[in-house]
Chains A and B, each alone.
Chain A
Amino acid sequence: MMKPKTVDKIATAVIIGVAGLIVLVLAGLLGFIMVRGLGHLSFDFLTSPPQSIRAGGGIGPQLFNSLFLLVLTMIITVPLGIGAGIYMSEYAKANKFTDFIRLVVEVLSSFPSIVVGLFGLLMLVNYFGLGFSLMAGALALTIFNLPLMVRITEQGLKSVPREQKEAALALGLTKWKTITSIMLPIALPIIVSGTILAAGRVFGEAAALLFTAGMSSPRLDFTDWNPLSPVSPLNPFRPAETLAVHIWKINSEGLAPDATEIAAGASAVLVITVLLFNLVARWLGRFMYRKFTATK
């Protein structure tokens, strides 16, 4: 029988070793993407439109589409997801129906994105007549982001100390007021970190978008900011190829001589964008927490 102290040391060493291994894998992955991709990055690459057969194409419209689609999806998902999460956590009675919803939320979040995409194709694109468009893409992404947001909100609200909630209620605040001004700010860091994860999925998603947001990007006129004009980048009803879809397309069928470099460059851009987005969201989460709770 080994001494507990020896076991403790071995276990600590193993855990540190595993953490180190993960860091190595991550560093390797990121290094692989960056080394292959960074050399190809230039201002021109980031802003010029793609080329299908000639070398020298860029990813300008795709980058814009990815960001815009993310914003659109979040505008739809966040209020819906937080609302449903609040209901599940605070208003739902402990009955079979609530249980059923919870079950289906779990199942829905594990739905393969390709099936969501095909569902989107038949329901949103064809039946509702949205066509291949940013809106169809955003709604399809909402379908599998929503359960994630619901679960995250629930988790966040559950983490609020019961005393705080009860104190607020005892002071005569309504339940809704308690939730919005006492509980949500406390739950915010968890909600924000979860939203980042969800946003990451939106950014990297390709399978569901192939059939909803489409694989082509019409000519965009970046001087036309009227959302109703068909050439405006802000028009939510135009088709839009996102960065991830573009990477998939040129990796699998690309004919341009520099397809591999473009894919590598686009992957690097994608990862860098996600990094930037993470940092901003984190900062925003902290900022909001301070503002709502008046802590320093």
Chain B
Amino acid sequence: MKKTVMLIMALVLTFTLAACGQSSNKGGNASTPPATNNAGNASTEPSGEPTPETKLEGSILATGSSALQPLVDQASKAFMDANSGVTIQVQGGGSGTGLTQVSEGQADIGNSDVYAEEKLDADKAAELVDHQVAVVAMAAVVNPKVNVDTLTKQQLIDIFTGKVTNWKELGGDDQKIVIVNRPASSGTRATFEKYALGTKTDDLQGSIQEDSSGTVRKIIGETPGAIGYLALSYLDDSIKTLAYDGVAANEENVANGTYPVWAYEHMYTKGEPNEVVKAFLDYMLTDEVQDGAVVELGYIPAKNMQVVRDIEGNITKK
């Protein structure tokens, strides 16, 4: 009997806790607006330095792109150090998840590798405000034993559409080409296809598809004849980076517009952000983050770009 009572009590406790959490969570959400009022003057101080009068309070949920997650995570830690009243949660899950959640109001910030217009319906995308925090460039990479150093756009197209299947046709050794692609839904693949190939490609029989950069790098580094593409931050000695049309993939060439395979990293908010979110987004664009975490993580600071590209792909000088 005693045991039964204990069991039931444990059960009741569990449910009560669950219920409490629900209500306290709601309470938390409801208390956000006053907190933002408190922080009225905070927007004039985008550097995020705490002063007793303008203490920021609130919580931010940023979710989405796993490529952008480390950057936002890193920046959020420094921001929370400076503003003890703010809690920021950074979640991965992919660009699609981020856009869905910010569009439905579950997250405050949706991190994405692609423009919202490319994933969401036009009317939903129109509600979102784009904050471009960095630029990510991608390079074609091959197994270090492949003795090819540069590929032209046409050669890349031939490889990724399966027209060319052996490295000897491109001046290399007699070695079968193994394609390590990304899934069709991937933002990285969309960027690569749009700016390196200029065309969408179909999946090929026998090609390998991986979504995470670490795995792509590992497979390319080990598989003879493998080719794939990675963001610049993932380049290292285990793989060989190819030049595109003879242009080396580095920050300088991306910034001056000669190397075309790059994309903006977006942090979307639904409508204009509230004070706390705005303070954080402003902080993302300060020199502290742009010259610090952004560079450290292998992104290119948005302010260094000498060219601007719109969603159609039209490039204009700044």
* Interface majority SS (helix, strand, loop, mixed), chain B: helix
In the docked arrangement, what's the CA distance between A254 and B70, Å? 8
Interface stretch, picked from A9-17, A145-153, A207-215, is A207-215
A255 located at the interface, meaning its Cβ lies under 8 Å from any Cβ of chain B in the complex? yes
In the docked arrangement, what's the CA distance between A135 and B26, Å? 15
A36-73 contact mask (Cβ, 8 Å, vs B): 1 or 0? 00000000000000001100000000000000000000
Contact B214 A251 (CB under 8 A): yes
Contact B93 A211 (CB under 8 A): yes
Please pick, from B21, B92, B214, the residue contacting A210 in the complex, using a CB distance under 8 A. Answer: B92
Residues in chain B near residue A215, CB distance under 8 A: 69, 90-93
Please pick, from B26, B29, B89, B104, the residue contacting A218 in the complex, using a CB distance under 8 A. Answer: B89
Most chain B CB within a 10 A radius of its CB, from A135, A180, A253 = A253
B18 located at the interface, meaning its Cβ lies under 8 Å from any Cβ of chain A in the complex? yes
Given A75-B10, A215-B91, A237-B24, verify A252-B3 contact (CB < 8 Å): no
Contact B213 A252 (CB under 8 A): yes
Residues in chain B near residue A210, CB distance under 8 A: 92-93
CB of A153, distance to nearest CB on chain B (Å): 13
In the docked arrangement, what's the CA distance between A75 and B296, Å? 43
Instruction: Give residues 71-110 of A contacting B (CB, 8 Å).
Output: 75-76, 79-80, 83
Chain B residue at smallest Cβ distance from A132? B91
In the docked arrangement, what's the CA distance between A76 and B14, Å? 7
CB of A207, distance to nearest CB on chain B (Å): 12
In the docked arrangement, what's the CA distance between A173 and B34, Å? 61
Residues in chain A near residue B296, CB distance under 8 A: 53
Interface stretch, picked from A122-130, A157-165, A196-204, is A122-130
Contact A216 B73 (CB under 8 A): yes
A239 located at the interface, meaning its Cβ lies under 8 Å from any Cβ of chain B in the complex? yes
Contact B22 A130 (CB under 8 A): yes
A219 located at the interface, meaning its Cβ lies under 8 Å from any Cβ of chain B in the complex? yes
Contact B106 A253 (CB under 8 A): no
Contact B73 A230 (CB under 8 A): no
Most chain B CB within a 10 A radius of its CB, from A76, A80, A254, A255 = A255
Residues in chain B near residue A132, CB distance under 8 A: 61, 89, 91
Contact A216 B91 (CB under 8 A): yes
8 examples of A-B residue contacts, CB within 8 angstroms: A75-B14, A125-B106, A139-B18, A216-B89, A237-B25, A251-B212, A253-B213, A255-B70
Q: Using CB atoms and an 8 Å cutoff, list the residues of chain A in contact with chain B.
A: 52-53, 75-76, 79-80, 83, 125-126, 128-133, 135, 139, 176, 180, 210-211, 214-216, 218-219, 228, 230, 236-237, 239, 249-255, 259
Beyond known contacts A129-B29, A215-B90, A237-B25: 9 more, CB 8 A cutoff:
A52-B74, A129-B25, A132-B89, A216-B89, A216-B90, A218-B89, A253-B69, A253-B214, A255-B70
Q: Using CB atoms and an 8 Å cutoff, list the residues of chain B in contact with chain A.
A: 3-4, 7, 10-11, 14, 17-18, 21-22, 24-26, 29, 59, 61, 66-67, 69-70, 73-74, 80, 87, 89-93, 97, 101, 104, 106, 211-215, 233-234, 293, 296-298
